[in-house]
Amino acid sequence: DNLPESLKSAKARNIYYLLPFLLGLMGIFYQLQWNKKDFWVVLLLFVLTGIAVVVYLNQYPNQPRERDYAYAGSFYAYAIWIGLGTLALYDFLRKFIPDHLGAVVSGALCLFLVPGIMANENWDDHDRSGRYTARDIAYNYLNSCAPNAILFTNGDNDTFPLWYAQEVEGIRTDVRVVNLMLFNTDWYIDQMKNKAYESEPVPLSLPQEKYLDGTNNQIYLIERFKDYIDINRVINFIKDNDPATKIKTRDNEQLDYIPTKMLRLPVDSAKVIA
């Protein structure tokens, strides 16, 4: 009652009357009474994917986004207990009313008082209707690209709106979106070598055996040259299977390496100006 109006009317202020928690407690005691082995299994799931994860990750306070997904397993475990709480309520009601009526009453009560109230309280928090910023940014990104361009992105939030725009709305499917966070995996590189919609395959020159998982996860830099070398020559050097282009380990394993850190990228100035 003493809350300021700014907090009372805040969309983030939700009141559940402890009902989800209490129904879960009913489920805990019900399962403990009737099946202790299953109770310990669910309890382990709850602890190991909840409190144990909090302790193990030891996350610093200011995170870039909500991290509740890291504890999703504990939510599942408590949801099991909430479901068993409904069964506990039914088991209690059947002592006073017929079984079929008890099932209807317990189901209706729990549906209305728990998910019903939660949906009502949370709807204004999570209503995304009328929010098109992510979609519009993706639309602008794609339409700012030249025909058959390659658009490099830096991970999830940069990429998902672009995928939506292309996959769902069919916007600029001639542009190839390359997610750099996935581009160090062999399966994603293989995907990039295939045509997608109207976009051509990404012109990659390294053969698959050079980037399969476990191969060339790191390539050592061993300076053999001091002058600038065309980067295309360095790539061809890595591609070459000649033993002269390898270094040998103590275990007689041959590894690819980069022979210089002085790389030169030739640029056709006429094409840039054009």
d(CA 75, CA 78): 5
The SS3 of residue 152 is strand
**67 and 140 together in one domain:** no
Q: Which residues of the chain register pLDDT less than 50?
A: none
pLDDT number for residue 26 = 97
Q: Is the dihedral of CA 93, 98, 100, 101 positive or negative?
A: negative
Considering 95, 126, 157, which residue would you say is the last residue of a domain?
Answer: 126
Nearest to 210 by CA among 178, 241, 171: 241
**10 and 72 together in one domain:** yes
**13 and 90 together in one domain:** yes
Q: Which domain holds residue 34?
A: 5-126
Adjacent-strand bridge partners of 177: 151
**142 and 230 together in one domain:** no
**199 and 210 together in one domain:** no
If one counts every other C-beta atom within 10 angstroms of the C-beta of residue 56, the result is 9
Question: Which DSSP string corresponds to 38-95?
Answer: HHHHHHHHHHHTTHHHHHHH---S--SS--GGGGHHHHHHHHHHHHHHHHHHHHHHTT
Considering 126, 147, 174, which residue would you say is the last residue of a domain?
Answer: 126
**176 and 249 together in one domain:** no
The upper half-sphere exposure of residue 77, i.e. CA atoms within 13 Å in the direction of its Cβ, equals: 19
| Beta strand pairing call for 254-258 and 246-248 | antiparallel
Total of domains in the chain: 3
In this structure, are residues 166 and 179 in contact, taking their beta carbons and an 8 Å threshold?
no
